[in-house]
Amino acid sequence: MSTSTSAGMRLRQAMEAENPLQIVGTLNALHALLATEAGFRAIYLSGGGLSAGTLGLPDLGLITLQDVLTEVERITYVTDTPLLVDVDTGLGPSAFNIARTVKSLIRAGAAGLHIEDQTGSKRCGHRPGKELVSPEEMIDRIKAAVDARTDSHFVIGARTDALASEGPEGAINRALQYQQAGADFLFAEGVTNLEIYHQFVQALHIPVLANITEFGVTPMFTREELANVGVRMILYPLSAFRAANKAALEVYQHIRKQGTQRDMLSRMQTREELYRTIGYYAYEQKLDALFHTKKSSL
């Protein structure tokens, strides 16, 4: 999709236009279109969702840069809605890998990324046993990402998983250092109450992101509750993914048991709804016009 502004600039504009900015996870291009149709100003590609949804593997740092880029390019081809991307610990062990990740994402049309302070053999942010790198190593990751930007508007977020092992004081101390290193926003993972979000907001002068993922340690805080403590960005990384997976299993089980899908039709997206979302008729009209032109010139 062509536009006069960079993807990074569009994400920054969305952050100014909506406070707090709701960012919803889209694991593929069709879901990106559906999220845009629903009115979201920003969308997200989850590393854990990509690992499970595309590769059928757990969120343990198994995805590669190419895995990520494939989906980013598919999503940014069909929508200008700015895409924030999860890159785990940088998608490589060195500063050069992180730089390659940043440059490649910008070239692929992403609007921003977040990078985390877990070790390379990372775990899901809502699981026990997470191990962190030192603040100094994470600072190097952030600096490498900032230095690699070919678009100054590209957004770089720092995620800290330190709450589980270092508590609010340790996590905020890390966050302050990450801010100083050049992070554009702070992703506080595993937050268990609103007061902790408020403490992050009070300590920092960059936006704080709340990750409101289901079935984890963070309660399902509302947009209003998070706005009241100063959170500027709210992430719903896997909500549609979880719902789609549940629905798919139920349909499979129903067809297997009943031998027909007739009773499930009311729960399905219709052909007309799908065609509207993907712009099917516009493509068909273009095809008709193209062939008409070709025939007329013979």
User: E-assigned strands of 46-167?
Assistant: 83-86, 112-116, 155-160
Please say if 159 is a catalytic residue: yes
Q: How far apart are CA 131 and CA 79, in angstroms?
A: 37
* Contacts made by residues 60-64, CB under 8 angstroms, sequence distance 24+: 60/121, 60/122, 60/123, 60/124, 61/88, 61/89, 61/120, 61/121, 61/122, 63/88, 63/91, 64/91
Is residue 137 annotated as involved in ligand binding? no
**Is the pTM of the predicted complex or chain greater than 0.85?**
yes
* pLDDT the model gives residue 61: 82
* Catalytic, out of 151, 184, 211, 232: 211
* pLDDT the model gives residue 295: 57
* pLDDT the model gives residue 60: 86
- In this structure, are residues 7 and 83 in contact, taking their beta carbons and an 8 Å threshold? yes
Please say if 189 is a catalytic residue: yes
Please say if 283 is a catalytic residue: no
Q: Which residue type occupies 175?
A: A
Is residue 161 annotated as involved in ligand binding? no
Q: How far apart are CA 233 and CA 208, in angstroms?
A: 6
Is residue 140 annotated as involved in ligand binding? no
Q: How far apart are CA 60 and CA 51, in angstroms?
A: 9
* Catalytic, out of 31, 114, 126, 141: 114
Q: Which two three-digit tokens encode residue 86?
A: 């999860």
The distance between the two most distant Cα atoms of the chain, rounded to a whole number of Å, is: 76
Is residue 120 annotated as involved in ligand binding? no
Is residue 288 annotated as involved in ligand binding? no
Q: Which two three-digit tokens encode residue 93?
A: 């062990």
Q: Which CATH superfamily is domain 7-241 in?
A: Phosphoenolpyruvate-binding domains (3.20.20.60)
- In this structure, are residues 20 and 232 in contact, taking their beta carbons and an 8 Å threshold? yes
* pLDDT the model gives residue 120: 60
* pLDDT the model gives residue 62: 87
- Report pLDDT digits (tens) over 201-236: 999 999 999 999 999 999 999 999 999 999 999 999
Series of mean pLDDT values for 10-residue runs along the chain (298 residues): 81 98 98 98 96 92 93 98 96 92 98 91 68 94 97 97 94 98 97 97 98 96 98 98 97 97 96 94 89 62
User: E-assigned strands of 64-154?
Assistant: 83-86, 112-116
Conformation bin of residue 243: beta by default, left when phi > 0, alpha when psi is -120 to 50: alpha
Q: Name the 3-class secondary structure at 280.
A: helix
Please say if 195 is a catalytic residue: no
Is residue 267 annotated as involved in ligand binding? no
Tell me how far CA of residue 262 lies from CA of 173, 254, 255, 258, 266, in angstroms.
57, 10, 9, 9, 9
Q: Which two three-digit tokens encode residue 35?
A: 């999220």
Please say if 147 is a catalytic residue: no
Please say if 88 is a catalytic residue: yes
Tell me the domain boundaries of the chain.
7-241, 245-290
- Report pLDDT digits (tens) over 225-268: 999 999 999 999 999 999 999 999 999 999 999 999 999 999 99
